[in-house]
Amino acid sequence: MLMLMVFLMFLSGLMSFVLNRKHLLLMLLSLEFIVIALYMNLFIYLSMMNYEYFFSMIFLSMSVCEGVLGLSILTLMIRVHGNDYIMTFSSLW
């Protein structure tokens, strides 16, 4: 039952990421939600197999670094462009 809930969390985060592809902030929030679902899945798996939780702490610290990097890129792009629309960030236009 718990694995089904985590799978539904992952799918809802993925759908949110796909549907909110215009705004960078909403994309970052949905990516963080997906990371939380993956962390919960990893934690459940490690507790079911009676393994140590050291790898989950590494995963959590890497996900925090990913979140900080995303927020710093968001801040930089808002300072340069003035909004968080993805289409204005493209340098290919």
- H-helix or E-strand containing 85? none
As averages over each run of 10 residues, the pLDDT of the chain (93 residues) reads 91 93 88 94 92 90 92 87 75 54
Identify the pLDDT of residue 20: 85
Give the side-chain half-sphere CA count within 13 A for 8. 5
The vertex-91 CA angle with 89 and 93, nearest 5°, equals: 100
Q: Which domains occur in the chain, in start order?
A: 2-88 (1.10.287.3510)
Identify the pLDDT of residue 3: 86
Q: Which amino acid is at 48?
A: M
